[in-house]
Structure 1
Amino acid sequence: MTQLLWLVSFILLQSTFAQNDIKIDQISNFHTKAQWKISNKDLKISKSSAQGPMVFSDIKLEGWSLTKTVGSPSVPFKSILLEGIPTDFNVEVNAVKVFNINDVAPVPAQQMPCRCDIIPWKFNVDFDEKSYNSKSREHIFVEYMGKFRGKDISRVRFSPVAYNHKSGMRFISEGSVEIKSNQKINVASMSAEDRRLVIFTADKFKSSLDRLVDYRTAEGYEVKVITLSEIGQSFEEVRAYIKDLYKKQSFSYSMIIGHEEIFPTEYVSTRFDENTPSDMNYYTLDGDTDGQRDVIPDILYSRISVDTIDELNRFIDKSLEFEARSWKDGLGKNMMIAIASDEGSAPSDVEYVRQMQNPLKKKFNWKSREFFQANSDSIPSNVQDRISDGSIWLNYIGHGSGYAWPSLFGEDFSTAHINSLRANGVKPIIIDVACQNGRFSNEARMGESFIRATDGRSPAGAVAYYGGSVDISWDPPAVMAIGAGVALSENNNRRLIDVLWAGQRYLLENYDDRQGALENFVWYHLQGDPLLNLNNLQ
């Protein structure tokens, strides 16, 4: 239930606020309050380049996300993920300072293409008349997101700005959201709950995994290795086995060893592809309930897309090298690489990639070598040299073809460049915001090439790669990549998959289109050791 409470008298909040930030207080076990205080000058209003049945304005507020539901007013928002279903919560807005702003209509969010297409020019904007003519101006929304490890998750989303055509735009510069419940209010977690790792592998790789198993066991992890001959050869057989195993004793981490031709995957329909290869449903173990599909994996997982025992051994060599920080040339341990297209707006890809890396610059004082498509020195040979010299973290955002990063100056960075990388430097963790590059089909796509790369007989390329298996959406993967950087900067005493999962959770909080946010789980796969230790990266 939601209700708008207008306070007649001025209330002076006792808390202090960072500029445009919110302060969340746990008043009691059954009462949480989110407060904000925003200066009028910090709400940026400018004429939008997108025009339609009315004159639209871009509404921006630093530090707040913008809603992206196509055709609806794009306004700043924050949200909180809580355990429970929407009816568990009574949510109210307390408006302390309110301004009605006439003759301003927020621009509608526009449909974006997948990241393999160029943003099209439109004669008409995407415009949802129903959203603009809603009867009331709503500041809060409570919706069901899914279930993680048996616990329901709901999102409380709130905005200081609300609009309808009849009444115009309302701006609450100072206010709060009160969340009350008859049960204890807990922030929803999507974290590992134990130190158990299960590795599922094609039979030929089993003995080669001993080194990695021994290493993780020495760290205190309980590791099982299970082969396909013990399970079955189809997706359905593997899924049934995993579900039964999880019921007997839950586990938090998993790896699959082998590409999709030797270890099965599922092919599902997504927004841009009817046959999206995805391992997600191996791990959605809560099951569908009350007509709601299970859409959040309960296990944090990866797939190592290798074809031969030599490829697996070199991958393990790279992982253990990273664990020991034993690179022959460790100068790149404080370096990042940022590669971005010259496309996009609000934010652009350049703005996105800087948001991905700024938290790491501030936390660790890491330096970033930037390759932006519009710059004449952003050519493949320079990227190749920088990766070979060593970097700990690499973010790419732009177009993808499966076999190349096209968003450079004049020429693609392709798998041919990956195959010429040198081996001695720090091998990066790569987060790739592009289409097609992360497919694990044994076709030597970008992710596979980075994982399998060699310099002579020595492993080169990347230590881990996180990318999409098909055409992917424009904004959600970028928001996820920002969240991964934020998570690592807040707590680097954690494992790689924990950081990436925190990025997915950040996406659920900071992208209002529920379907678009959840679909990112389907596309994205880690090719790397999920337990790669990120402790004390500085």
Structure 2
Amino acid sequence: MHHTQKLTLVLIISLSILCAGKASFRGKSLDELAGTSIPISFTNLVSNNYEILPSQINPQRGSYLIISPDGIAAYLDDFVEFKQSQGFDVYVSTLSETGSSASDVKLAIENKLAVDPMLEYVLLIGDVDGFAECPSFYYGPENDVTDQQYTHLVGDDVVPDVFIGRLSIDSLSDLAVIFSKTIQYARDPLAFDQNWLDRGLVVAGNYSNTYPIPITPKWTSYWLMEELMDYGYEQVDTVFYPPIQQGASYIIPIIDNGVGIVNYRGWGDANGWHYPEFHVEDVNDLNNGWLTPVFMSYVCNSNDFANSVDPCLAEAVLRGGTPTVPKGGVAFIGPSDLHTSTKYNNVINAYMYDAMLNHGVVELGPAMQAGQYGLTKEFPAQNGSGEAQEFYANVYNILGDPSLQVYLDRPKQFLIEASELTSNDGLLQLIIKDSDTGQGVDKAVLSIMADGEMLVKGVTDMSGTFIASLDVSGINSVVVYANKGGYMQGHE
């Protein structure tokens, strides 16, 4: 179990509470938002940047847009059905439909948002070249690859109007591996180890090739270790430089034993982390199977999926293993730029964990945005063109499903109670309870499906109740799926 506390980080940064921000949700005013439905993934941004009561907004599960090369579209059915079971209305667009340039794809996303304001997430499938080419943007004087410009759709700010991720693949096998990891992580994460999500790994290195040598990567990491232990983790291992430089022999067995998150601060590039060392080739030596953590790598260039080093560390982690014997991780966040700054990476690291641990922002896209937005609090003057706020809003990207709900400890389970469903009235009453406490679960996202199609979706009320009227003609049975952060997906 865990408890929530205010985060403090002595001597590293002055960590403000998230409510001080002034971000705009798609350029909307308070009057335009009051009483309307908003996508669940934007709840934190709206509630912390507008003087609005929770009762004045109506968070609902929205839609999910997949954009892929034409040759990949035939292999998406199982993943589409999985996302529907999480309550998303799912669209699939091929590059022949959107256009093959980055500007074409961005226009297609913008057009989809215009007709469906509940669009929450975009998933791009493909590397920037090769077998499954899917374009990206390039930002700044070093041409850093970025998918974030696809999300800057309304106004001239760098606050995302949708959240985006990419499955960077070089083969159909890569695609199958990533899909298998993602679905297993959501549906049955404890199948092979009941305790692995109560453990974490924090890696850091104080190194620079010029003086002064930074000391805050290790400070930040000691702080994070303590916060995770206070949250309720059973074990948080650390591998730090100094003293350890050859890190792989320490890191690999810890990951193989099972950890829910892997966090890195230090010195690196597309090949991997250098102090202590953990490189692309070391991913092949992992044997962690279905215990696939989320990697959070707040260090230069580790997520440069357009680098001549192919795969870069992020791609190697995401693609690792086979569909039946996976390895590596389920998702990876990190920057593409080679010259990021310690002081800014520290802030993004700290604010992202503040959002996850203290504010319940566990979907990967919104959590990373909360980290990036921390720069507006700690470095408010860095708000010009090319300065820190804009720069880091572009160079940090997600490889993996951007809607992935990160488990911060062992997930709870649902107990689903359903009334008898008959063809007379098609009325279905559901009560969603916590399997341990027996209490109703508020704001659980439900999807009622039959024959691989979503019939109805919705959100439970404060008592955990949801009532739906279904057209059951020609349907023999339905499956109810329940979803919420901190819970593994339930079904009945």
1:255–1:530 CA contact under 8 A, matched in 2 = yes
Cα separation, 2, equivalents of 1:341 and 1:433 = 12
Deviations along 1:336-385, whole A, 9 cap, x unmatched? 11111124888611111233343332123342110011124863111111
More helix by share: 2
**Residue in structure 2 matched with residue 98 of structure 1 by the alignment:** none
What is the CA-CA distance between 1:462 and the residue it aligns to? 0.6
**Residue in structure 2 matched with residue 239 of structure 1 by the alignment:** 106
Gaps of 5+ in 2: 1-5, 31-49, 411-492
Cα separation, 2, equivalents of 1:378 and 1:338 = 15
AA aligned to 2:160 is: P
Deviations along 1:477-523, whole A, 9 cap, x unmatched? 22112122222212447422232222223343233333313321101
Residues 1:415 and 2:415 are matched in the alignment: no
The one of 298, 302, 308 aligned to 1:437: 302
The one of 303, 307, 322 aligned to 2:170: 307
**Residue in structure 2 matched with residue 503 of structure 1 by the alignment:** 371
Residues 1:295 and 2:162 are matched in the alignment: no
The equivalences for 1:238-317 within 5 A come to 238-250=105-117, 251-261=119-129, 262-269=133-140, 273-287=141-155, 293-317=156-180
Question: Matched residue of 2:181: which SS?
Answer: helix
Cα 1:208–1:456 change in 2 (3 A) is closer
**Residue in structure 2 matched with residue 225 of structure 1 by the alignment:** 92
**Residue in structure 2 matched with residue 322 of structure 1 by the alignment:** 185
Cα 1:65–1:339 change in 2 (3 A) is closer
Cα 1:258–1:329 change in 2 (3 A) is same
Cα separation, 1, equivalents of 2:346 and 2:217 = 9
Cα separation, 2, equivalents of 1:297 and 1:369 = 34
AA aligned to 1:339 is: V
What is the CA-CA distance between 1:398 and the residue it aligns to? 0.9
Cα separation, 2, equivalents of 1:253 and 1:367 = 33
Residues 1:371 and 2:258 are matched in the alignment: no
Cα separation, 2, equivalents of 1:310 and 1:482 = 35
**Residue in structure 2 matched with residue 31 of structure 1 by the alignment:** none
The equivalences for 1:86-101 within 5 A come to none
**Residue in structure 2 matched with residue 35 of structure 1 by the alignment:** none
The one of 313, 335, 346 aligned to 1:446: 313
AA aligned to 1:340 is: A
**Residue in structure 1 matched with residue 460 of structure 2 by the alignment:** none
The one of 150, 167, 173 aligned to 2:27: 150
Residues 1:361 and 2:223 are matched in the alignment: no
More strand by share: 1
**Residue in structure 1 matched with residue 428 of structure 2 by the alignment:** none
Cα 1:194–1:81 change in 2 (3 A) is farther
Question: Matched residue of 1:462: which SS?
Answer: coil
2:100–2:134 CA contact under 8 A, matched in 1 = yes
The equivalences for 1:6-405 within 5 A come to 62=10, 65=13, 81-83=20-22, 147-151=24-28, 185=51, 194-250=61-117, 251-261=119-129, 262-269=133-140, 273-287=141-155, 293-323=156-186, 324-343=188-207, 348-376=216-244, 379-405=247-273
1:260–1:441 CA contact under 8 A, matched in 2 = yes
AA aligned to 2:93 is: I
Structure (1 or 2) with the larger CA radius of gyration: 1
Cα separation, 1, equivalents of 2:86 and 2:178 = 19
1:149–1:286 CA contact under 8 A, matched in 2 = yes
Question: Matched residue of 1:148: which SS?
Answer: coil
Cα separation, 1, equivalents of 2:328 and 2:394 = 25
Question: Matched residue of 1:247: which SS?
Answer: helix
2:255–2:288 CA contact under 8 A, matched in 1 = no
Cα separation, 2, equivalents of 1:333 and 1:226 = 35
AA aligned to 1:426 is: L
Cα separation, 1, equivalents of 2:241 and 2:408 = 32
How many residues get paired? 369
Cα separation, 1, equivalents of 2:76 and 2:153 = 26
AA aligned to 1:320 is: I
Question: Matched residue of 2:268: which SS?
Answer: coil
- Which structure exhibits the higher relative contact order, with contacts defined as CA atoms closer than 8 Å and separated by 6 or more residues? 2
**Residue in structure 1 matched with residue 291 of structure 2 by the alignment:** 426
Cα separation, 1, equivalents of 2:113 and 2:9 = 44
**Residue in structure 1 matched with residue 392 of structure 2 by the alignment:** 520
AA aligned to 1:360 is: L
